[in-house]
Structure 1
Amino acid sequence: MSKDEGNNGKEHKPRRVLGEEWVDWDGGKEPADIDEGKKTFILLSLLVIVFVFTVGALFWYLVLPRFLSFGRIWAFSLSIVFLSVTVILLAWYILLVVTVFTKKSYMKICLTRGSSLFFFLYPLAIRFASLLGISRDRLSHSFIRVSNTLIRPDRGNGPVLAIFPRCLDRETRTKAREICESHSDVIIHTASGGSAARKVIRDLVPRAIVAVACERDLVSGIQDIAPRIPVIGIPNNRPSGPCKDTTMDIRSFLDAIEFFSPTP
């Protein structure tokens, strides 16, 4: 009898070495191929904004009498601040939706992925998603799609860095390398995790990044890197679970490389 068949028939969780963001994985089956549209993050962001509006309106209603006791000018000032924030946030959201679905940027300074407001929505959206039975990975996949839509190519100096996870299977890795090798300004790097990928980025200072990883690692990297360097995230597929023989959409990878490094 093998070692795995012993121990009173207890099931053993598959061994995983990689995946900094998968420490909470219980060995159960995960979706092998998530394909969540941009609407999921957009709609949950709307719920977040409505929630913020509601909390703000309640705060305004409760403190307005106290400000009136200090004078009408104070109450008027508070009302102006509340209305201004409301209008700005609502306008930002409308422009975000228009940009995502038309792929035209009408207000670049407001819609860059480096906007703290854009990243502010994500952790709050996760909380609403959990209440609605939407997994973290589904929401993250949608967030990555929105983020990819908002980026613009950087024609500055430096190479385009393609980052692969070590868990990518051989066939997928070979196809991806062939794509990269057909572009002279693309550098390939295989990272053992998020920390290793960040170190390579600091050392190379690329003008753009195409990163392949699970949704959790991609979101973490986008939040850290995107404000400074354009990043396109390609979520991997996990038919064998996290960090083992993963694959990816080769067409999406090719499009991302061509976006930053067009073929003459």
Structure 2
Amino acid sequence: MQIANSPDQPRSLRRARKRLFVGLISVACLVMCVFLALLWVVPYIGLDNIHPAAKWVLGALVLGLIGLVCVAYWGLFLNIVTKKPLPGSRRFRGLTIKLFLPLMVLLGRAFGIDKQHIMLSFISVNNELVLAEAGQYAPEEILLLMPHCLQNSKCDRRLTYDINNCARCGKCPLAGLLGLHDKYGVNLAIATGGTIARRIVVQLRPKLIIAVACHRDLSSGIQDTYPLPVYGVLNERPHGPCLDTTVALDIVENMLLRFLDPAKAGQGRTISTGQAAQE
């Protein structure tokens, strides 16, 4: 699998994922607006018994909430279409992660849409929002977060404790990732699960994460680390899930070049150990 929104991906695939996301989020917005409107319509008659103005007060509150949902939707929509940072773009990404995504999953289930397609569309749009929102950072402010399944299954070296134990034999992508770490001076770590990944993030405190994982782990990781921007790169699974996976190193390097500040390149503190998560 290739990175969401990568230039190496067919444009038709990127457009299809974006259309799916926009379609689902449009329906999700409509559902929320209808639900909020019903909160006013259903008790409309009964509220007269409380106070003559009660229904109008409730109506004003409901209309205000509907307005906020619509503003959030159109702000997110324009951010996706224009691919440019808009005022409040971080909040739009937050609404996508915290509010729209769970509702989109429920709607997708109702319409018979595979959850994997929804997750892929979410990752694709999240990446576009991160590209529009994020600036450039010093090497020590960027974290390359890798899954342990990139390690060759026949390797007996304990890389999840300290990635520097890698022999750099070239039998798995970790040698190339270490090369990127050495070249650009960014942080590099391996996570064996969501809990370890969160510990690594807390300890290193990066300002941007380039994470490699499957669609399921990327989606949950993006949600868990918000508001920290996470650019997701889908790993390739020629042998199935969680076994000898790989990643396109050129895509990771291209993203590093996008987010690294050239003026600060080579000046950052380098950490290349999974041990940080276990100390």
Counterpart residue number, 1:160 = 142
Counterpart residue number, 1:180 = 181
Contact 2:139 2:187 in 1 (8 A): no
- 1:252 is displaced (CA, Å) by 3.1
Contact 1:167 1:243 in 2 (8 A): yes
- 1:171 is displaced (CA, Å) by 4.5
- 1:259 is displaced (CA, Å) by 2.7
The more displaced of 161-170 and 194-203 is: 161-170
Q: How does 1:9-20 map to 2 (within 5 A)?
A: none
- 1:134 is displaced (CA, Å) by 2.2
Q: How does 1:142-157 map to 2 (within 5 A)?
A: 142-151=121-130, 152-153=134-135, 155=137
Contact 1:37 1:142 in 2 (8 A): yes
Encode CA deviations 1:106-136: one digit per residue, 9 max, x unaligned.
22266353x3564211111112112333222
Matched, 1:135 2:114: yes
Change beyond 3 A, Cα 1:262–1:109: closer
Alignment length (residue pairs):
228
CA distance, structure 2, for counterparts of residue 254 and residue 156 of structure 1: 15
Change beyond 3 A, Cα 1:111–1:82: same
Change beyond 3 A, Cα 1:180–1:91: same
Structure 1 vs Structure 2 CA RMSD: 2.4
> Aligned AA for 1:225?
T
Counterpart residue number, 1:240 = 239
Contact 1:158 1:206 in 2 (8 A): yes
Counterpart residue number, 1:27 = none
Aligned match for 1:100, one of 80, 84, 87: 80
Q: Which runs of 5+ in 2 are unaligned?
A: 1-12, 153-170, 264-279
Aligned match for 1:38, one of 10, 15, 18: 18
Change beyond 3 A, Cα 1:57–1:259: same
Counterpart residue number, 2:166 = none
Q: How does 1:207-218 map to 2 (within 5 A)?
A: 207-218=207-218
Matched, 1:223 2:205: no
CA distance, structure 2, for counterparts of residue 110 and residue 167 of structure 1: 31
> Aligned AA for 1:223?
Q
Contact 1:154 1:207 in 2 (8 A): no
Counterpart residue number, 1:67 = 47
> Aligned AA for 1:197?
A
CA distance, structure 2, for counterparts of residue 79 and residue 93 of structure 1: 21
Q: Which runs of 5+ in 1 are unaligned?
A: 1-33
CA distance, structure 1, for counterparts of residue 108 and residue 236 of structure 2: 21
> Aligned AA for 1:244?
L
Encode CA deviations 1:222-257: one digit per residue, 9 max, x unaligned.
111121x22111121222211012223434322322
> Aligned AA for 2:230?
V
Identity of matched residues, %: 28
CA distance, structure 1, for counterparts of residue 261 and residue 106 of structure 2: 39
Contact 1:99 1:106 in 2 (8 A): yes
Q: Aligned to 1:199, what secondary structure does the other structure show?
A: helix
Matched, 1:57 2:56: no
CA distance, structure 2, for counterparts of residue 165 and residue 174 of structure 1: 14
> Aligned AA for 1:73?
A
Q: Aligned to 2:242, what secondary structure does the other structure show?
A: coil
Q: Aligned to 2:233, what secondary structure does the other structure show?
A: strand
Encode CA deviations 1:65-89: one digit per residue, 9 max, x unaligned.
1222333321111111111111221
Contact 1:154 1:230 in 2 (8 A): no
Contact 1:153 1:230 in 2 (8 A): no
Counterpart residue number, 1:19 = none
- 1:214 is displaced (CA, Å) by 0.9
- 1:260 is displaced (CA, Å) by 2.2
CA distance, structure 1, for counterparts of residue 101 and residue 34 of structure 2: 18
Aligned match for 1:47, one of 27, 35, 39: 27
